[in-house]
A and B are shown apart, each in its own frame.
Chain A
Amino acid sequence: MDTPLAGKTCIVTGATNGIGEVTAQALAQMGATVIGVGRSPARCADSAARIKAATGNAQVEYVVADLSVQGQVRRLADEIKARHSRIDVLVNNAGMYFSTRQTSPDGIEMTWALNLLNYFLLTNLLLDALKAAPAARVVSVSSGAHEGAKQINFADPEFKTGYSGWTAYNQSKLANVQFTYELARRLAGTRVTANALHPGFVATGFGHNNGGLMGVGMKIAQRVGARPPKGRRRAFTWPVHPKWKA
């Protein structure tokens, strides 16, 4: 078996379905020690078992955390750092579309809390461990949807007025790209790189939490899309493959 990532510790958030699980499995296939993160204990257990069975890699663990809650992001970072002094890859992927405005337990609008602040906080809390690796990579999943946002609405980023699911989502994806650019600038001269990517389409649980058009549309698209083809699956992991140079 080709295991170019043997000895590397890779974290993938939102790793119980869609792009996240595909990525976690591909990293496990390449021999990495994989830490998947998901909200549901049952889905975390399922994904861990599925990936171990599919890859034969026993170094796959899932940690349960709701990354829309800052206290849980902090606990997750503490748990990871207690067991791993060095992290080679962080894939920020956990994100959702919220058709109606909701707030997190911290009182922050959910799209902003989960899709942006989670990436920001988790990455910063893990920076020391990333810097301890010989060549670490932070990959943040954005989306072509970022082009739908003309700017960050700094006057009201949580859309206390005029909320629309897509407006908030597009803004959060623009914020993912901007976060990445500033992170990379701050990491210049270190051994950590930061990049963002548009994942393309995959079968995913994305949108299942929402009723309405988005939920229905996504379910149909998923049925049609079924499992991502093999080439597409690779597309999510090439930014972390050792042959890839930033």
Chain B
Amino acid sequence: MGKYFTDKRAVQSSPASYDTDAVVRLWAESEQQTALAQHVAA
């Protein structure tokens, strides 16, 4: 699992950062905006 660090310690990032739906949606939007699927078999 990815972690967020500050001063060498893993700490909680903001509540919004753990919004699973947003995380998945952001990935999909990023794929689309970089046309990644056309270049890399993900």
Contacts and interface: CB of A to CB of B under 8 A. Distances in A.
B2 A196 contact: yes
Contacts of A175: 26
A204 to B, nearest CB: 17
B3 A246 contact: yes
Contacts, number: 101
Contacts of A116: 30
A52 B27 CA distance: 37
Interface residues of A, number: 43
Given A124-B40, A178-B26, A200-B6, A185 B1 contact: yes
A182 B26 contact: yes
Interface string B1-40: 1111111100001101111001111110111011110011
A182 B39 contact: no
Interface residues of B, number: 30
A74 interface: yes
B4 A195 contact: yes
A185 B6 CA distance: 21
A214 interface: no
B31 to A, nearest CB: 8
Nearest to B36: A124
Interface stretch (A22-30, A90-98, A141-149): A141-149
A174 interface: yes
Nearest to A184: B2
Interface string A113-124: 000110011001
Contacts of A64: none
Nearest to A118: B34
A193 B2 CA distance: 7
A152 B24 CA distance: 12
Interface in A122-181: 124-125, 127, 142, 144, 146-147, 149-152, 154, 157, 174-175, 177-181
A151 B19 contact: yes
A58 interface: no
A226 interface: no
